[in-house]
Amino acid sequence: MADIILGIESSCDDTSAAVIKDGYLLSNVLASQDVHKAYGGVIPELASRAHQVNIVPVVSEAISRAGIDASEITAIAFTRGPGLLGSLLVGTSFAKGLAMSIGKPLVEVNHLQGHVLANFIKQYGAENRQPEFPYLCLLVSGGNSQIVKVNSPLEYEILGQTIDDAVGEAFDKCSKMMGLGYPGGPVVDRLAKEGDPDKFKFSKPHVPGLDYSFSGIKTSLLYFVRDRMAEDPDFMEKNKADICASFHPDGQTYKGCKADRDKADYNRWRRVRQQRSPHAHSGGGPQEGLDHFSAGVQIHYGQCCHDSYCRVVPLYERRAHIP
């Protein structure tokens, strides 16, 4: 008998649902929220209200696209956290109600663990390459940025993480300072590819070990823009591509972090690489920044690692020992 899992996600500003059958993705439906663009960031109360509007049609569409009936579902997985409290309550309450109505088991899932294991989702017609345990995961998702050593499906070791802003937050705040809109990631990333990363110099983080920080470069950008705009009101428009390229976390910040590591920290990083199979996994977020330290290491760029909910179901499958 096939195992069919319905996943429900509402941790931030996207309402998502997915159906997986024996590890293969059958459907994945996502409803984004444009209401936050006017404010330059996610407003929790507005996100919760939008989830209430979206969750029924999103789940219904996911089941329909999967070509199944709700009675065929084996279990329902939902995000318990971390995330916005009100948004999580919407998804949790809906999942509980649906599980009770159709008499199926309910499984809570950690948002970040779902990202870590999302690379095990299989898709029909795809190559479906999967990392071998243990592997290193660069998890870059919204307000979370971590370097995680994954020893097994349920055994993790956090080697490093941001001590302040995450990469996604840094992108959004950069975009807001420059008047480029929300979400900031796509527009900053696009402009960065068109500019000169060496045109301007911003503060580099000096954090011991494998932790990292983005608050310094954000503050550096703030004062840089303020001072230059005072001298020339058209400065931003003339130099926005070069500013984005110089700020870009995949460029100066990450490279600065790695270049400034002392010898002991570098050796620690190298030992981690030697302890595991030669695989690294990108759990959502920027990918190109991995290339500069990937010599001799096989990089997996997961196709289902972003904040659409198909990424959570593999964690349920591993817990339940479903093949």
Q: What secondary structure does DSSP assign to 6-31, as a single string?
A: EEEE-SSS-EEEEEEETTEEEEEEEE
Share of the chain above pLDDT 70, in %: 77
* pLDDT value, residue 307: 54
Backbone φ and ψ for 183, nearest 5 degrees, come out as -70, 150
Name the strands in the sheet holding 144-152, side by side, starting at the edge strand that comes first in the sequence.
155-161, 144-152, 135-141, 279-282, 298-301
**DSSP annotation string for 77-112:** EEEEESS-HHHHHHHHHHHHHHHHHHT--EEEEEHH
pLDDT in tens, 136-159: 888 887 778 888 999 999 899 999
Query: Cβ–Cβ contacts within 10 Å for residue 250, how many?
Result: 22
Q: Which residues contact 304 (CB under 8 A, 6 or more apart)?
A: 25, 28, 118, 119, 121, 123, 310, 311
Q: Which domains does the chain have, with CATH numbers?
A: 4-126+306-320 (3.30.420.40), 131-302 (3.30.420.40)
Interval 19-44 mean pLDDT = 91
Q: Which two tokens stand for residue 213?
A: 């920080």
Per-range mean pLDDT, top range of 95-104, 145-154, 241-250? 95-104
Tokens of 42: 């996610």
Confidence of residue 170 (pLDDT cuts 50, 70, 90): confident
Residue 255 is which amino acid?
K
Looking at residue 260, its pLDDT comes to 45
Share of the chain above pLDDT 90, in %: 46
Instruction: Report the predicted TM-score, pTM, of the whole model to 2 decimal places.
Output: 0.78
Check residue 273 and give its pLDDT. Answer: 40
Residue 316 reports pLDDT greater than 80: no
Radius of gyration of the chain (CA): 21
Q: Rounded distance, CA 85 to CA 72, Å?
A: 30
Q: Would you state the structure tokens that stand for residue 55, as one six-digit string?
A: 């969750």
Higher confidence at residue 127 or residue 8?
8
